[in-house]
Structure 1
Amino acid sequence: MLISFDWLKQLIHIDKTAEETGALLTGAGLEVEAIHNFDQVKGGLEGIVIGEVLTCERHPDADRLSITTVDIGTGEPSQIVCGAPNVAAGQKVVVATVNSTLYPTGGEAFKIKKSKIRGAASEGMICAEDEIGVGTSHAGIMVLDTDLPNGTPAAEYFGLGSDKVFEIGLTPNRADAASHLGVARDLKALLRVPYTLPSVEDFKVNNNSRPIEVVIENTEACPRYAGVTVSGVKVGPSPEWLQKRLRAIDLAPINNIVDVTNYVLHELGQPLHAFDADRIKGNKIVVKTAKADSVFVTLDGVERKLKANDLMICNAGEPMAIGGVFGGQESGVSDETTSIFIESAYFSPDYIRRTGMAHGLKTDASFRFERGTDPNMVITALKRAALLVQEVAGGEISSEIVDVYPQPVQNLELTLDIERAHSLIGQHIGAERMKAILTDLGIEITGETEEKLHVSVPPFKVDVTREADLVEEILRIYGFNNIEVSEHMATTYMASFPKPYPEDINKTILDYISANGFHEIITNSITNSKYYAAGGEEETAGLVKVLNYNSEDLDVLRKSMVFSGLEVLRYNINRRQRDLKVYELGKVYEQLEDGYKESRKLALYMIGNTTAESWKQPAQKVAFYDLASVVQNMLQKLNAADYEVQPVEASRYMRQGITYVKNGTVIAQVGLLDAAVTKAMDVKEQVWYAELNWDYLLKKYKDKLVAEELPKFPEVRRDLSLVVDRNLTFEQLKQVALRTERKLLQGVNVFDVYEGDKIAAGKKAYALSFTLLDRQQTLTDKVIDGVMNRLMQQFEKQLGAIIRK
């Protein structure tokens, strides 16, 4: 891809050299493979200046030669022998100085040297227009009407300043940069200066004498199609400024109409096509796919057999162009054209890519369409082209803009995790810098928190579809060279972040569950409202109803994970799989007064036996602690072990079990599902069920690894037996013990529970063990006895315990 530096500077102020600008672009991912000099006239008229003929006399030895003295601004006049019949004193002329090289029109280059012509010294050459390549006339020397000082470079007089042209190796994902505007966008972010779109404010419809109807039959292939008619145009050569722009990027000028469409394509990145309006039969454009094996003759005169998915631009009777790829021979602009219809459209990249490959056609238009253009640029480019046509070819805008756009392409909404972005980048650059880069690139910040940025990505950013792409955009503008790298090039170049990604936590925990014999299930979030109806109004309240459901069995979003898991258990039980351990990480939904609530839960189910029967041991039924131990180990892995244990509040789903509470929030529940619920789902076995509040656990998770030196002094264990009220739990005893002795008590365990006729009715006996440790010294009997006495006192005082001695 070629980009003109002069053209680029019409869109954005650049205070750097071409070489410096090229280095910036390369660092940002637009690799500048070379920077070429572009001269409108070969050689750029280097060494050719404006001079003034001071004297002119006939050569004594040649009738057709004159000996002149010419002031070329060096202080001393130069003597030049000239053979032109029209040379005379007082003229302003074009002089090729000694050692300059001339590139004549249609001839070979030659160098000017000091010489003698018929015995007279000559120090240069007074030139005709064909001799310096600015024209074809050789009737005589050029006589200029100018007040420019002698010695002024001739290129300045002719307005033939040189240009620098970037040759950019554009990668397939950077469709947004396939134009001067696209490159200017990157420079805006790199230089922190605004760019200016060409103004289209002067666009106005002169009359509506040539309306063209547009019908899109295949909106998948062509989501948007727009056009406008310009009448009274005169087709001919483009003005010099337009030809110069095109030649700079290696495009040959064709005529003023076609040149305008090419100009706008390379300026704004929006391909255009101009039809001869008189050849649009029925004044109607129909956009549709072709009939397979039909024949169409393209602009290059080649007959092509069309494919069924080729998108065609047709009139009321026949095809006129292969949409987005190549125009047709019969509908293009010719020297006789007086009215044109300018097409500006957004075509599906997939359709254009298939058509281009099938026919072996690669055009500037298809190059952009098959990578993805900007649907929001369609009308701007159309107005820009219409105004330029009026400027270079005359005419009037003779129709309203027709714009068929049934389903506008929406911006893509993404969320950027700031901490994750820093991790991927490799160092902290700050949220404000990220926001500035994204905004400069045209990506809107729609919301933000301390942890995340919510952004709206416009359609022209076709390669930005996920969070990692946003990080790439930030990093390439921030600069890969600005990322600090360890001098040893070890893995330390990656930034260190204490908080892991949710995906990593998910994997760690789910792998642990799977390693304990559980199988993962994935169920439908849409379920049957009848499951909740049995629970009455309390259960049906807040159900999220599906408005367009296809089955009465799938009419609401699930409010609980219980029923979808029971469906899986029932399915397996009916196929004689009765010993089951399954889990699911899924979402539940609830309708609130002011909106909807969506949250994730981790659910585990166990039924049947934990071990199969064998000659060595009988089968063992699943018990509460089989599931509770897995849940407690998960909470330990999540560094959420500082929980309180409470009896589960009786509900429709669970009649007995325990609840894990952290900072007043329920983080997990484990228990036996109510038999009425399981039987209603045709599951007759006992179902042990656990549910974790996954969103809360992820939010509060801290990846905290603590290493400490092994204790130098021994632990001490003491046992205690006590009788308490039957309703007291071990957790209550444990909490009293931990509150009583915070320094030395390392752990409390229960190793026996007794209920029977040897103790009073309504009572039960616990046998507890206490582990004591002092990291500074060896525990003495006196200290140990003091701790145990305080524990017994508090058990008696707070819980009414009877100590068994």
Structure 2
Amino acid sequence: MKISINRLKNHLTLTESSEEIADLLTQSGLEVEGLEPFESIKGALEGVVVGEVLTCEKHPNADKLKITTVDVGAESPANIVCGAPNVAQGQKVLVAKVGTTIYPSSGDPLTLKKAKIRGEVSEGMICAEDELGLGSSHAGILVLDTDLPNGSPATDIVEVSKDEILEIGLTPNRADGASHLGVARDLKALLGREIQMPEAVELKVEAEGPAISVEVENAADCPRYAGVVLTGLKIGPSPQWLQNFLKSLDLDPINNVVDITNFILHDLGQPLHAFDADKISEGKIIVGKLPKDTKFTTLDEKERKLSGEELMIKDPKGGLCIAGVFGGEDSGVSDDTTSIFLESAYFSPDIIRKGSQFHGLKTDASFRFERGTDPNMPVYALKQAVKLIQEIAGGKVSSEIIDLYPNPIEDFVIEVEYGHVNRLIGKTIEPSEVKSILESLEIRVENETETGFTAIAKPYRVDVTREADIIEEVLRIHGFHQVLLSENLKTDFLAEHPVKDLNKLQYRMTEILSAQGYHEIITNSLTKPGYAEKSGYLDASKSVEIYNKLSEDLGVMRQTLLFSGLEVLARNINRRQTDLKTFEFGTVYQKSEEGYQEGRRLGIFLSGNKSSESWLEPARAFAFADLYATVEKLLEKLNISIGDISMVESAPFDYGLKLMLGQKEIGSIGLVEEKLLKLAEVRQEVFFAELDWDLLCKKASGLKKYQDISKFPEVRRDLSLVIDKSVSFDQVKSVGIKFGGKLLQRIGVFDVYQGDKIDAGKKAYALSFHLQDQEKTLTDKVIDKTMSKLIQAFEKEVGALIRT
């Protein structure tokens, strides 16, 4: 769910940064999954200025091109080659200067460079409407009627709206948070500020219109139904502020009336629906059901067969709308509409969920109705919508407000004991603070005693019906972080947690490694003292020394599996067995101030060739990626996800990676230093990984997570990035995951280039991005938007240049 910071500021005063607001909401239970900037015009026309065409001459080498000099407010005019047919001397135009990135209405972003076009220097671009994302016209350049000085920013002429958008991962219980008003209510409690609600509007009948009556067949399915008739409307585009608001939430503006209903839905959380009043047969709205297999065509022009269980808005001739889910094709607002019946209702969540699931329709309205809307909101929201419609689309109120609400929904009455509050939260909270928090959340406190009170929650809080719910409300506003954890934690488990069989776990890993061609080795735990003394990375003072040594070569307990494994490799290599894949589960030992320590490790070695030479292909030596793939496979089988990965360029590796799990290191992988190979008398490259087997056993999970295979196709898009050599693929991948959203399934790199075709100190990554939606087929618009977001993120976060 997307929330506009600008719109939140219409509901309450906010002086905090967007990041601080996001942190506050996340701590209180409205988890913010992302924070993205929004610009009504991509790029905000940065680098685009007002210019004046001083000269315009025919290009000597191209019939359709012209050479211009343009005053852009700099010391000297810019030479610009232009292909527009309408460019002429004396015009005021919009110019994108060298270095500016422009975002066309269609196609990829373009960063302008000083270039030669057919032999003539061009320093920028005189822009057409579509080249700046201002519209779709490409008939010619934009010619301005302005007295602004040359060099003035384009934003002095074209208004650009900027906003920041919160992406909230709304949990099913928090139906009250599915609107800007709902989010503002939480911020009111968290910050101690008052909400600024628009004043209730009193409507007066101003003109005659179609007489509309309403009949509700079953009040249990529709406890409240309200509506009003408006006439004399002019349907057309919405004003820019309303279009920008909808676009910031990824909604397409349709027309002024429909846009207003969408605005009210996202602002107040109340879905509305507008019917063309002239298309309602006999002037009668009926809220009820239609027979099974009745055919009904929805707004998406699809004919559907009804189940007979969904709630319908109908007239004496047939269906007008699947209530709370989707409108009908024949009854909606069109360009010719002049009169509407505006509906605002409270439907039973169960009946809306049935209709939505049966037809596979998930709309913004059904999302809210299914979870439970505010039964006290329909008339207030209706009045606010009418006020906006009259301001934007004209029209007059032509009926009294119809409000059928035979059985008002009662507030939730909940008995609460202070002792239970303190026991469940785990700390003592003063009764005065409990009362203050609840009242800030619009939950009344009555019948107070020394031991407890009665809480009265309004019906829009569908998740607050029990004492435990009240206590949760107190805790989330008081702050989870303020409840200190004791040194010794304990809890009761309802589910069984079988003890891990560590032998079976090790045998399972052995099978996996053996299946990949690895041979298990078992080496002596006693080793040479010289390995620690000469290695440069082991602390010889921590070696556990043997008192009754059999020999100096077996004088200490090993601190690592590296050297005993290298000895095995040396023995095989000396006997001309040079292509080696080995592994060992072994114990390592250390002496410390606390005493002696030991731990189990898994060591994996690769050396020589992965494949022998043949008539099909030459021999290929083992590479770092081969060992990393093995480690990744083992961790996948243990259901362990690697956390942070950092580069290692110190002993025992020439280069390598350190793998973290939270704050703990689970192992390292790399190419062994030549100095260490000489200590063990190994004369070829060795790749080595050492993993903390004790930690892996502790974190391993036998649980598997499965999901249905998507019915919708996966889409691949490729990008080529030029980045600094210091930027790792892991950094690039992290940026992709952060900004790619839920559609991005995986990122791959299929080519790396470093050479004279790009700048020194740079490298080029060719990346593949695999996109998929689990609920619908991806459209080009959605794909392009995702890729555009990724491109901007790579440019900003890692300084990437996108190669085209």
TM-score range, shorter chain: 0.5 to 0.7
| SS of corresponding position for 2:376 | helix
| SS of corresponding position for 1:254 | coil
Write the letter of the residue equivalent to 2:296. Answer: F
Residue 123 of structure 1: aligned partner: 123
Residue 602 of structure 1: aligned partner: none
Is the Cα contact below 8 Å between 1:211 and 1:400 reproduced in 2? no
Residue 343 of structure 1: aligned partner: 343
Is the Cα contact below 8 Å between 1:155 and 1:161 reproduced in 2? no
Aligned 1:149-160 pairs, distance under 5 A: 152-155=152-155, 157-160=157-160
- C-alpha distance in 2 between matches for 1:306 and 1:35: 40
Is the Cα contact below 8 Å between 2:45 and 2:155 reproduced in 1? yes
TM-superposed CA distance for 1:226, in Å, is 0.3
Query: How far does the alpha carbon of each residue in 1:692-739 deviate from its partner, in whole angstroms, 9 at most, with x for none?
Result: xxxxxxxxxxxxxxxxxxxxxxxxxxxxxxxxxxxxxxxxxxxxxxxx
Residue 324 of structure 1: aligned partner: 324
Is the Cα contact below 8 Å between 2:53 and 2:68 reproduced in 1? no
Cα distance change of structure 1 residues 360 and 86 upon mapping to structure 2, 3 Å threshold: closer
| SS of corresponding position for 2:278 | helix
| SS of corresponding position for 1:383 | helix
TM-superposed CA distance for 1:284, in Å, is 1.4
- C-alpha distance in 1 between matches for 2:439 and 2:366: 29
Is the Cα contact below 8 Å between 2:53 and 2:92 reproduced in 1? no
Cα distance change of structure 1 residues 108 and 443 upon mapping to structure 2, 3 Å threshold: same
Query: What's the C-alpha RMSD, in Å, of the aligned pairs?
Result: 2.7
Cα distance change of structure 1 residues 463 and 360 upon mapping to structure 2, 3 Å threshold: same
| SS of corresponding position for 2:485 | coil
Residue 71 of structure 2: aligned partner: 70
More displaced, 344-353 or 112-121? 112-121
Is the Cα contact below 8 Å between 1:235 and 1:337 reproduced in 2? yes
Aligned 1:339-488 pairs, distance under 5 A: 339-488=339-488
Residue 239 of structure 2: aligned partner: 239
Is the Cα contact below 8 Å between 2:101 and 2:112 reproduced in 1? yes
- C-alpha distance in 2 between matches for 1:81 and 1:374: 60
Residue 260 of structure 1: aligned partner: 260
Residue 53 of structure 1: aligned partner: 52
- C-alpha distance in 2 between matches for 1:306 and 1:54: 64
TM-superposed CA distance for 1:237, in Å, is 2.5
Is the Cα contact below 8 Å between 1:238 and 1:255 reproduced in 2? yes
Residue 568 of structure 2: aligned partner: none
| SS of corresponding position for 2:132 | coil
- C-alpha distance in 2 between matches for 1:300 and 1:139: 33
Residue 220 of structure 1: aligned partner: 220
Residue 653 of structure 2: aligned partner: none
- C-alpha distance in 1 between matches for 2:331 and 2:68: 59
Cα distance change of structure 1 residues 65 and 405 upon mapping to structure 2, 3 Å threshold: same
Cα distance change of structure 1 residues 310 and 490 upon mapping to structure 2, 3 Å threshold: closer
Residue 684 of structure 2: aligned partner: none
TM-superposed CA distance for 1:392, in Å, is 2.6
| SS of corresponding position for 1:370 | helix
The answer to whether residue 190 in structure 2 is matched with residue 190 in structure 1 is yes
Cα distance change of structure 1 residues 115 and 216 upon mapping to structure 2, 3 Å threshold: same
Residue 273 of structure 2: aligned partner: 273
Is the Cα contact below 8 Å between 2:201 and 2:387 reproduced in 1? no
Write the letter of the residue equivalent to 1:288. Answer: G
Write the letter of the residue equivalent to 1:286. Answer: I
| SS of corresponding position for 2:253 | coil
Cα distance change of structure 1 residues 51 and 305 upon mapping to structure 2, 3 Å threshold: closer
Is the Cα contact below 8 Å between 1:12 and 1:184 reproduced in 2? yes
- C-alpha distance in 2 between matches for 1:353 and 1:432: 40
- C-alpha distance in 2 between matches for 1:431 and 1:150: 66
- C-alpha distance in 1 between matches for 2:92 and 2:473: 56
Aligned 1:311-710 pairs, distance under 5 A: 311-489=311-489
Residue 23 of structure 1: aligned partner: 23
Query: How far does the alpha carbon of each residue in 1:369-422 deviate from its partner, in whole angstroms, 9 at most, with x for none?
Result: 111000111011111222222233221111111101111111112232223212
Write the letter of the residue equivalent to 1:100. Answer: T
Write the letter of the residue equivalent to 2:238. Answer: S
Residue 797 of structure 2: aligned partner: none
Residue 678 of structure 1: aligned partner: none
TM-superposed CA distance for 1:350, in Å, is 1.4
Cα distance change of structure 1 residues 157 and 186 upon mapping to structure 2, 3 Å threshold: farther
Write the letter of the residue equivalent to 1:445. Answer: V
- C-alpha distance in 2 between matches for 1:481 and 1:413: 29
| SS of corresponding position for 2:218 | coil
- Percent of pairs identical after alignment? 53
Aligned 1:793-804 pairs, distance under 5 A: none
Query: How far does the alpha carbon of each residue in 1:728-768 deviate from its partner, in whole angstroms, 9 at most, with x for none?
Result: xxxxxxxxxxxxxxxxxxxxxxxxxxxxxxxxxxxxxxxxx
Cα distance change of structure 1 residues 33 and 91 upon mapping to structure 2, 3 Å threshold: same
Residue 175 of structure 1: aligned partner: 175
Cα distance change of structure 1 residues 86 and 374 upon mapping to structure 2, 3 Å threshold: same
TM-superposed CA distance for 1:53, in Å, is 2.8
Cα distance change of structure 1 residues 412 and 51 upon mapping to structure 2, 3 Å threshold: same
Residue 723 of structure 2: aligned partner: none
- C-alpha distance in 1 between matches for 2:197 and 2:33: 27
TM-superposed CA distance for 1:353, in Å, is 1.5
Is the Cα contact below 8 Å between 2:229 and 2:399 reproduced in 1? yes
TM-superposed CA distance for 1:75, in Å, is 6.4
Cα distance change of structure 1 residues 60 and 142 upon mapping to structure 2, 3 Å threshold: closer
Is the Cα contact below 8 Å between 2:201 and 2:384 reproduced in 1? no
Write the letter of the residue equivalent to 2:158. Answer: F
Is the Cα contact below 8 Å between 2:50 and 2:154 reproduced in 1? no
Cα distance change of structure 1 residues 131 and 295 upon mapping to structure 2, 3 Å threshold: closer
- C-alpha distance in 1 between matches for 2:150 and 2:423: 63
Is the Cα contact below 8 Å between 1:54 and 1:71 reproduced in 2? no
Write the letter of the residue equivalent to 1:260. Answer: I
| SS of corresponding position for 1:158 | coil
- C-alpha distance in 2 between matches for 1:17 and 1:288: 48
TM-superposed CA distance for 1:435, in Å, is 2.1
Write the letter of the residue equivalent to 1:375. Answer: P
Is the Cα contact below 8 Å between 1:178 and 1:266 reproduced in 2? yes
Residue 32 of structure 2: aligned partner: 32
Answer with 1 or 2: which has the greater Rg.
Answer: 1
Is the Cα contact below 8 Å between 1:56 and 1:87 reproduced in 2? no
| SS of corresponding position for 1:68 | strand
Query: How far does the alpha carbon of each residue in 1:251-287 deviate from its partner, in whole angstroms, 9 at most, with x for none?
Result: 1222222222112111111111111111111211121
Is the Cα contact below 8 Å between 1:12 and 1:188 reproduced in 2? yes
Is the Cα contact below 8 Å between 1:200 and 1:387 reproduced in 2? no
TM-superposed CA distance for 1:208, in Å, is 4.3
Aligned 1:750-789 pairs, distance under 5 A: none
TM-superposed CA distance for 1:456, in Å, is 1.5
- C-alpha distance in 1 between matches for 2:53 and 2:475: 63
Is the Cα contact below 8 Å between 1:443 and 1:457 reproduced in 2? yes
Is the Cα contact below 8 Å between 1:413 and 1:456 reproduced in 2? yes
Is the Cα contact below 8 Å between 2:68 and 2:81 reproduced in 1? yes
Residue 504 of structure 1: aligned partner: none
- C-alpha distance in 1 between matches for 2:303 and 2:141: 50
Cα distance change of structure 1 residues 69 and 356 upon mapping to structure 2, 3 Å threshold: closer
TM-superposed CA distance for 1:77, in Å, is 5.6
Residue 725 of structure 1: aligned partner: none
| SS of corresponding position for 1:334 | coil
Extract unaligned runs of 5+ from structure 1.
493-805
Is the Cα contact below 8 Å between 1:70 and 1:80 reproduced in 2? no
Is the Cα contact below 8 Å between 2:50 and 2:148 reproduced in 1? no
- C-alpha distance in 2 between matches for 1:149 and 1:425: 64
Q: What count of residue pairs does the alignment treat as equivalent?
A: 490
TM-superposed CA distance for 1:82, in Å, is 4.5
Is the Cα contact below 8 Å between 2:221 and 2:351 reproduced in 1? yes
Is the Cα contact below 8 Å between 2:413 and 2:456 reproduced in 1? yes
- C-alpha distance in 2 between matches for 1:307 and 1:127: 55
Is the Cα contact below 8 Å between 2:80 and 2:124 reproduced in 1? yes
- C-alpha distance in 1 between matches for 2:202 and 2:124: 50
